[in-house]
Amino acid sequence: MLMSQDVYAERRARFVEALGGAAAVIPAAPLVTHHADCEWPFRQNSDFWYLTGFDEPEAVALFLPHRPEGERFVLFVQPREASAEVWNGFRWGCEGAVERFGADRAHPRSELAERLPDYLKGAEAIAFRVGRHPAVEPLVLQAWGAQLDRAPRSGAAALGLVAPCPLLHGLRLRKAPEELVRMREAARISAEAHELARQVARPGLNERQVQAVIEQHFLEQGARGPAYGSIVAGGDNACVLHYTANNAELRDGDLLLIDAGCSLNDYYNGDITRTFPINGRFSGEQRALYELVLAAQEAAVAAVAPGQTAEGVHDTAVRVLVEGLLDLGLLSGDADGIIEQGAYRHLYMHRTGHWLGLDVHDVGAYRLGEHHVALEPGMVLTVEPGLYVSDRLPVPEGQPAIAERWKGIGIRIEDDVAVTDHGHENLTAAALKAPVALER
């Protein structure tokens, strides 16, 4: 079930209240060229989507707290036009923007330049993200400049240009119950796809064929498709963190790392990684490292609770990994010193997670200056420690050379975890990860 328009209206009300006397200009995403005159499938700007639920390109939303009730939410949209719709499909147009999407007023996008200065007149400031919207930015700057010119004559306070991000991203960071429903759905489909992939994976298959099984399931289940480039990485390919070539043959004796999640029609995302033996049996080295990553991941998931921080979750995983690597002889020295110096980073070089929501790497601060943001109910983060044993990074001075038998093993385990009132909910627990479930 997609969200009702009431949800978007409520978000707008909260946003407008938070703006104080500032007017906000939030552009939709444009269509992006893939090559020649072919475009990528349309992907809405998540900020714009969060406030409007309007899934067309080139639109612009204005939020105008300084205007009277009934003039505070204005949409500029592509108007209905038979000759355009016959090529590219239905548009809601100005009437739809008002009737269906709750705009107080709607105008053709072509009238933005002319109308924007009037709408912004009287606002205490303009909230607009500079540097991201090249088609809209000159119009905003022009309107802002005109206001500054007028200010000395009218005696109005000089206008500021401010970023809407802290307000908006603070709202997006804390998921409402109806958002968590959608994130559970993204998690369900994503977890099922991982289970299917493990059932088909076998030596001799190509990584791409496993990718096809995963993405077919996303589409069959009504999702838009993958939330990001699916990573299907056999053996040493798993040590390339953003491996998306997905074109190698799966080899007997290797592990397969799959990092894939779906994006729903309303853009909520799953982000899951699982790693398992292609032939159904771990080698001794694979199992030792797998159990270590799993222990780190489970400890880090267990740490997710209100009052904890993303940094604390990361530190929990790092400590388990470093102590385990010391036991295995892949590190030497004392755990505290290694952690302080980062002398484990040739084996674990990324953070343990990120916020998850309408963006896969979702918005919201992790820290404010020196202060780490405390987890609150409704926040959703991934927990995804890993180990990547290869020759790509130099072994830090004082650390042992890596024996050949460990090389080519890349493991990551990633779940999507929502903070609850008293702890957490693992949204992706249906994707199995216990070694006994991965062997056959």
Marked catalytic residue, from 35, 69, 153, 242: 242
CB proximity list for 43: less than 8 A, separation 6 or greater: 29, 32
Rounded to a whole number of angstroms, the minimum distance from the CB of residue 130 to ligand GLY is 27
415 binds ligand GLY (CB under 6 A): no
Q: In what side-by-side order are the strands of the sheet with 160-162?
A: 105-108, 73-77, 60-63, 22-27, 125-127, 160-162
CB of 271 to Mn ion, least distance (A): 4
User: Whose Cβ is closer to Mn ion: residue 192's or residue 259's?
Assistant: 259
Which residue in 312, 308, 317 sits closest to 411, CA to CA? 317
Task: CB nearer to ligand GLY: give 235 or 385.
Answer: 385
Asked whether position 259 contacts Mn ion by CB under 5 A, the answer is yes
Catalytic position from the list 414, 415, 416, 424: 414
237 and 410 Cβ atoms separated by less than 8 Å: yes
114 noted as active-site residue: no
Strand duo 160-162 + 125-127: pairing: parallel
Retrieve residue 166's tokens. 């802290």
Residue of 354, 359, 362, 416 marked catalytic: 354
Count CA atoms closer than 13 A to 401's CA, side-chain side: 2
Residue 350 annotated as catalytic: yes
Q: Is 362 in the site for ligand GLY (CB under 6 A)?
A: no
Strands (E), 58-205: 60-63, 73-77, 105-108, 125-127, 160-162
Does position 259 interact with ligand GLY (CB under 6 A)? The reply is yes
For Mn ion (CB under 5 A), the number of binding residues is: 5
362 forms part of the interface with Mn ion (CB under 5 A): no
Contact partner, 228, from Mn ion, ligand GLY, none, Cβ < 5-8 Å per class: ligand GLY
Phi, psi of 174 (to 5 degrees): -100, 105
Subset of 395-434 contacting Mn ion (CB under 5 A): 414
Catalytic residue among 259, 266, 362, 415: 259
To the nearest 10 degrees (0 to 180), the angle between helices 137-154 and 112-120 is: 40
**Contact partners, residue 10, CB within 8 Å, separation at least 6:** none
The residue among 194 and 354 lying less far from ligand GLY, judged by its C-beta, is 354
* 382 near Mn ion, rule: CB under 5 A: yes
Instruction: Name which of 270 and 277 has its Cβ closer to Mn ion.
Output: 270
Question: Interface with Mn ion by CB under 5 A: which range of 3-11, 209-217, 379-387, 401-409?
Answer: 379-387
Interaction of residue 228 with ligand GLY, rule CB under 6 A: yes
Which residues make Cβ contacts (< 8 Å) with residue 402, sequence separation at least 6? Answer: 330, 389, 391, 395
Residues 420 and 377 sit within 8 Å (Cβ to Cβ): yes
| Residues annotated catalytic, as ranges | 37, 242, 259, 271, 350, 354, 361, 384, 388, 412, 414
* Residues at the interface with Mn ion (CB under 5 A): 259, 271, 273, 382, 414
* Residues at the interface with ligand GLY (CB under 6 A): 228, 259, 271, 354, 360, 384, 414
